Copies of this chain bind each other. A is one copy, B any other.
Amino acid sequence: MNRTTETKGITQCSIFDFNLSWYELLTSEEKMLIDEHSVSINFKKGETVCKRGAFASHIYFLEEGLVKVYLEERNKNLILTLFTKNNLLGLSSVFEGNNKLPYSVSTYTDSRVRMIDIHIFRQLLQQNPEFSYRIINLLNEKTSQIYGRFFSLTQKQLHGRLADILLCLSNRIFKSKSFELPLSRADLGDLTGMSTESVIRMMKEFKDDGLIDMHCKSIELLDVARLERISEFG
C-alpha cells in the first residue's frame, strides 16, 4: 500500500502513569454507592496487596504509594507494570470470566488502597456508559503500554532494556532526572527480564560511560539524549 508517515519508536516509555479521572463521571448516587461499598486500607512498604489466583472480589484504587504488578512462577518473576497513586488496579477482573486475579500486587512504599466491591463496580459499568467508556480508554492505554514493554523485552538486548526502564522511571514515576529508587536491583531485573548481576554490571557500565550517576539507591540521569539513542537501537 502507500507509505505512512513514520511514528515514534514502539517503546518510548511503558510504565503506567496517567490518570484520566473516572470518579467525576459518576452521578452523586453512584459516588455514594462506591463510598458505601469500599474501604481504604493502609499497606506498609513491601506488603502484598493481592496474589495471583485469589478470587477477585475488589477493584483497587491506589490512593497513595507505589506498587508493582507482577507474575511469579517457580523462581521466575516478571513485573508487568508499576502503578503510582491515583490509578485503578485489577480492572482485568471486571470480566466475570476472570474470577481469579491474573497477577499479584505488592507495595514498594507505604501505600493506601481503596478496595471497591467488584459487583458494584460492574453494576456501574453496566449502567453508566460514560464511565464505562472512560474505563475502556484506561484499559486501552494500559494495553498499548504493555505492548511497548513486550517489544522491548523480547527484541532488545540488555543495554536497550535498561535504558528503557531508566527513562521510564525518570519520566513517568519520579518525574525528575534524579531520584531515590525504592526498587532493588533484583526488581530492576524482574522489570527488564535480566538477572540481578546483569543489572548491576550494566548500570556500572552506564555509570562509567557517563550516562548516569549512581550511589546505591540514588540515581541521576546525566545524558538523556544518549540514553534515548541506546533505547532506540536496542
**Residues in chain A within 8 A of chain B (CB atoms):** 1, 4-7, 9-10, 48, 51-54, 71, 73-74, 76, 78, 80, 91-98, 100, 102-103, 122, 125-130, 132-133, 135-137, 139-144, 146-147, 149-151, 153-155, 193, 234
Q: How far is the CB of A85 from chain B (nearest CB, A)?
A: 20
* In contact, B143 and A143 (Cβ under 8 angstroms): yes
Q: How far is the CB of A131 from chain B (nearest CB, A)?
A: 9
Q: How many copies does the complex hold?
A: 2
Q: How far is the CB of A98 from chain B (nearest CB, A)?
A: 6
* In contact, A154 and B151 (Cβ under 8 angstroms): no
* In contact, B137 and A126 (Cβ under 8 angstroms): no
Which residues on the B side are within 8 Å of A129 (C-beta)?
Answer: 125-129, 132
* In contact, B125 and A132 (Cβ under 8 angstroms): yes
Beyond known contacts A91-B140, A103-B147: 16 more, CB 8 A cutoff: A4-B51, A5-B53, A10-B73, A76-B155, A76-B234, A92-B140, A95-B141, A97-B137, A98-B144, A125-B133, A127-B129, A132-B132, A139-B139, A146-B150, A153-B154, A154-B193
